[in-house]
A = this chain, B = another copy of it.
Amino acid sequence: MAKKVQIELGEAELEVMRALWDHGPQTVRDVMERLHERGRTVAYTTVLTFLTRLEQKGVVASDKRDQAYVYKSKISRQSVTMSRIKALVDQLYDGAAAPMLAQLIENERFTPDEITHLRKLIDDLDSKGS
């Protein structure tokens, strides 16, 4: 379970990953359309560049099918999220997650349902123990 030392993804690259996470393996053209839907109207070759770089970084894989390559994500959204949060917590709180979590809880607005859900998550922590 060796974690990549760092999964370094830019903002646009992340949106490409999202397209793959949300809609499964796709061609360059597919991904481009997803990005356009989300308001990022980039050129076809730009998307190609993104995917090529992501493949070099080892976070997506491609295989030729019919005319075009189909790209799929090799990493989970969760691993990226956690990696990012970890970086954040390290950079701002020396790795202590609790204070950041506290701040997050205090500053965000949650619906009653969400609150109930969060409480349940916290409760579950007890039984699990550290």
Interface residues of A (CB under 8 A from B): 11, 14-15, 18, 77-78, 80-82, 84-85, 88, 91-92, 97-98, 100-112, 114-115, 117-119, 121-123, 125-126, 130
Task: List 30 A-B pairs, Cβ < 8 Å.
Answer: A11-B91, A18-B92, A77-B92, A78-B107, A81-B103, A82-B103, A82-B107, A84-B88, A85-B88, A85-B100, A85-B104, A97-B108, A98-B111, A98-B114, A98-B118, A101-B101, A101-B104, A101-B105, A101-B108, A105-B121, A105-B122, A105-B125, A106-B121, A111-B130, A112-B126, A112-B130, A115-B122, A115-B125, A118-B122, A119-B119
Q: When the two chains form their complex, are residues B110 and A98 in contact, meaning their CB atoms are under 8 A apart?
A: yes
Q: When the two chains form their complex, are residues B91 and A110 in contact, meaning their CB atoms are under 8 A apart?
A: no
Q: When the two chains form their complex, are residues B92 and A14 in contact, meaning their CB atoms are under 8 A apart?
A: yes
Q: When the two chains form their complex, are residues A118 and B102 in contact, meaning their CB atoms are under 8 A apart?
A: yes
Q: How far is B123's CA from A121's CA once the two chains are assembled, in angstroms?
A: 13
* A11 nearest in chain B by CB position: B91
